[in-house]
Every structure is written in C-alpha cells, then in structure tokens.
Amino acid sequence: MRQKQEIRFCDLQQPLDDEYEISNEIQDRCKELILGDDQLKEVMKRLTDDINKGLGKKTHADAIVKCFVTYVQDLPNGTEKGKFLALDLGGTNFRVLLIELGDNHFEMKSKIFAIPQHIMLGSGEQLFDHIADCLAKFMKEEKVQKEKLPLGFTFSFPLQQLGLTRGMLERWTKGFNCSGVIGQDVVQLLKDAIARRGDIQITVCAILNDTTGTLMSCAWKNHDCKIGLIVGTGTNACYVEKQKNAELFDGQDNGSGKVLINTEWGAFGDDGQLDFVRTEYDRDIDEHSINPGKQLHEKMISGMYMGELARLVLQKLTKEGLLFNGKGSDPLFTRQRFYTKYVSEIENEPHGTYNNCRQILEELGIKHASEQDCVNVRYVCECVSRRAAHLVSAGIACLLNKMDDPTVTVGIDGSVYRYHPHFHNLMVAKISNLVNKHIKFNLMLSDDGSGRGAALVAAVASRK
C-alpha cells in the first residue's frame, strides 16, 4: 500500500537543490519549469493590469480576466437562522447539502452524486434534469420535500452575473461541454428543470461561484477572510473590492461599499501574457485539450493538468535516454495516464525514501527504475508542483497588494491545496516574498467546501 494521502502541512523542505544528487542533465532540462521572483513579479504586474481591465466599464468587453461582479455585498455575521439548501456543481461530482443554522448551532447533511461523462458532454436540459433529480432524491431522503426552502447554487464556471439570482454562462471549463447553455441564465435553467418535475418547492436565492462559496464559508468562522481561492480540478479566485472600482456593478449599495469580485483568473494568459513563462509542455497540454487557447493560466496550475504535465516531462527525458536507460512503457507514453495524485504521493515521502515512486512506476509498467531514476522522477514532480504553487502565490500576492488591507485571511479549497503535502508551505513562503511588507496574511483551509458557502449566501440573502 502506498502512503495514504492526508491533509498535512509539513515543514518546508529545501526543494530543487543539488542535495539529492539530481543529474546535471535533468536539472538543465527542467530549468524552464522553475520561476524566479523577477518572473513572478512580472506575472503579478500583468495580472494586475488585466484585473483592472476586467473591472473597467470601457475595457471589460475585451478583458481576458473578466472580474465578474457577484452582487454579494455582505458576509455572514452570525445572525443567520433557519434551514437552507445548497447545490454545488463544479467538477465531475455534484453535491447537495441541507444546512440548519441557529444560535450557536450548525448542522450540515450532504450527499455526493456523480456526473456521468455523457451528461457532461450532452445537452443542457439533460444536465439540469440530472441536477433536479439529485436534489429531489436528497430532499426526500432528508424528509424536507414538503418544505419550501431557500437555496444557494454554486455553479463553478465563468458566469456573467446580472444580479444575485441571474447568471449567464460565458463558457464551459473543466471538461464540461453541454449544449444550449452558453449565454443562458443557469438559474432559470435550474428553475425550469425543477418545474418539469413538480414534486419539490425551492426558492433560488443566489447563484455563485465556488470561490465565492469558499470565501463565505471561511468568513463565517473568520471575519478577516476577504479572498476565496480554489486550487483543485481548476483554479480561480475572488476577493472583496470597493464598489467604486467595480464599474459594472449595477445594484443598490446596501451601505457596505464593497462587493465580491469573481476574477476568473484561469483565463489569464489567453492573449499571450503568459507566453514568456510557458513551456513546450504547456503548449502540448493546450493543443490536446478540449478548449485549445483557453484557460492557459489554469492549465499551468490545476489538478486536471498537473499529472499530465509531469508525464510529458518524464516522457521526453525517457526518450532522450536520461531516465530508465531510455526504456519507457506504453502507459508512460499514454496521455492522461500519469495522474495528479501520483505527484502528491511521490512527494509525500521523506527524501531518500522511494517506496511510493517505485510502486507508481511499476503500475506504469516500469520495473527497472534505479534509485537515481526515482530521485529524478521526484525532482520532475517537484518542479511541476512548485511552479503551480508559485504561480498561485503570485496571484494571491497580486490581490493582497491591490486590496491593501492590513490583515487578510485567504480561504482555500480544492484537492491540490488540500492533498499536496507541500503546497501550503510553498505558498506561505512565496507570498511572503512577493507581498507588500505591511500586509499580514493567513491561509485557511475551507473544511466544508464551497457548498456550505452557497447555503450561507442564501442565508445572508434571506437575513432581514
């Protein structure tokens, strides 16, 4: 059995140095995957410019980083009470939640439903009928099907929000490509699917992104939480912005003067702004994706692509005779066969221990790996995962500097941040290097995911 993955923030080790006898040839081939602070500061500068374009009324239409207004103006304050439903759609699994809030009381029940591949690539009507079916089954199991409950809908794809309960899908990401949804109001599509059933009563109070849900979930515990971050199947971030800077805000100010902005930073670089740090492996990933030319920032960071990035590097090094004596295997040379979890498992061992690495290589049909091969394979995984952590850190430092609040907690969810053994510490170290020195920050794991945040948005919206 390989070492079990767990949430573990170990001490930051000294990665990417000569201590572990990485061969010079391997180090040379991996140089382009290692980003220096000067490169990361240039990434920050370009991202800041793109965020400002997304916020501007005159520049938004042509902006790559869209910075959509979420219309969420208030964070939880502890006075929320009642039962609330949440739907959480953002990857290959879909969650339904029932949350009950009271004085010093929090109770949550949830169930995970799979989304089959044929639904991910089918019609929009099929997708929303599936969602409504899951919701109805859950409500009947929890015996609340006769109650009319407020619902928050986490829909983790790029949305142009026209209000708290109106969101038009801009484009699909993360392997989805359902027809008849782009340009449509997904809240209305959900309402239509519920109406077609006729057996449950629901008031949809809010549509939100998973980053907004993560921020709200963490803010319920920590009132300093002003940034929400996802590093999982995809990546995205949201943050609290002054309404006067959000020029597309078309709502009534409730007195807070603030509004949450969904950056959709996964698209950063789609216009060439990241070409100066992209590699041949990034270009290969993009060319063979279902959305070529799109979500280029995300493709350098997220769990959907990290394993394949590592595989492409290993494949090239093997074919050049620098790994495994030049003898690879069909699985190693097969797309998507080196899973992102392998990267975490290989790095989740002390240096000098390669049990996980050997078992993974054997699964890939490579039984002749030397200890030096294992050292080099680990180094490749470190290069790929640390680059991802450093790019995310540059983005967070960019938002922290832009907000310029003295103390900010960053609420974070997603499988890469949650399960990679060094991601948290790598981020703390790199953000500390990049952020303005007077700003104090804290990274907070979102225990309950974005689903609880959706219910909390519904609760805040119902709070009068």
> Residue 20: what pLDDT?
55
Q: Per-residue confidence at 19, pLDDT binned at 50, 70, 90?
A: very low
Question: CB-based burial of residue 199 (10 Å sphere; 0-12 exposed, 13-18 middle, 19+ buried)?
Answer: exposed
| Per-residue pLDDT reduced to its tens digit, 317-336 | 999 999 999 999 999 999 99
| Per-residue pLDDT reduced to its tens digit, 232-254 | 989 999 999 999 999 999 887 77
> Residue 49: what pLDDT?
98
Q: Distance (Å, rounded) from C-alpha 84 to C-alpha 143?
A: 14
Catalytic residue among 88, 210, 282, 373: 210
Instruction: Kindly tell me if the per-residue pLDDT of 454 is higher than 90.
Output: no
> Residue 130: what pLDDT?
94
Q: Distance (Å, rounded) from C-alpha 283 to C-alpha 246?
A: 33
Q: Give the DSSP per-residue string, 43-108.
A: HHHHHHHHHHHHH-TTTGGG-SS--EE--------S---EEEEEEEESSSEEEEEEEEEETTEEEE
Instruction: Considering only residues 290 and 411, tell me which one the structure prediction assigns the higher pLDDT.
Output: 411
Q: Distance (Å, rounded) from C-alpha 7 to C-alpha 29?
A: 31
| Per-residue pLDDT reduced to its tens digit, 48-61 | 999 999 999 999 99
Q: Per-residue confidence at 161, pLDDT binned at 50, 70, 90?
A: confident
Instruction: Kindly tell me if the per-residue pLDDT of 257 is higher than 50.
Output: yes
Instruction: Kindly tell me if the per-residue pLDDT of 196 is higher than 80.
Output: yes
Instruction: Decide: 410 and 215 in contact? Cβ < 8 Å.
Output: no
Percentage of the chain lying above the pLDDT 70 cut: 95
Instruction: Kindly tell me if the per-residue pLDDT of 308 is higher than 60.
Output: yes
Q: Distance (Å, rounded) from C-alpha 408 to C-alpha 444?
A: 10
Quick check: is 174 catalytic?
A: yes
List the one residue out of 234, 155, 268 whose CA is nearest residue 413: 234
> Residue 404: what pLDDT?
97
Quick check: is 199 catalytic?
A: no
Instruction: Decide: 97 and 88 in contact? Cβ < 8 Å.
Output: yes
Q: How many CA atoms lie within 13 A of 381 on its CB side?
A: 27
Instruction: Considering only residues 136 and 2, tell me which one the structure prediction assigns the higher pLDDT.
Output: 136
> Residue 335: what pLDDT?
97
**For residue 59, how many other CB atoms are within 10 A of its CB?**
14
Instruction: Kindly tell me if the per-residue pLDDT of 444 is higher than 50.
Output: yes
- Kindly list the distances between the CA atom of residue 283 and the CA atoms of 204, 289, 428, 456, in Å, as whole numbers in the listed order: 41, 10, 29, 40
| Per-residue pLDDT reduced to its tens digit, 166-181 | 999 998 888 899 999 9
Instruction: Kindly tell me if the per-residue pLDDT of 9 is higher than 50.
Output: no
DSSP 8-state class, residue 18 = G
Instruction: Kindly tell me if the per-residue pLDDT of 18 is higher than 50.
Output: no
Instruction: Name residue 442's beta-bridge partners.
Output: 409
Pairing label, strands 258-262, 201-208? unpaired
Average confidence (pLDDT) over 363-386? 96
Percentage of the chain lying above the pLDDT 90 cut: 74
Catalytic residue among 174, 258, 294, 299: 174
Of 82-96, 263-277, 412-426, the poorest mean pLDDT is in: 82-96
The pLDDT mean for the chain works out to 91
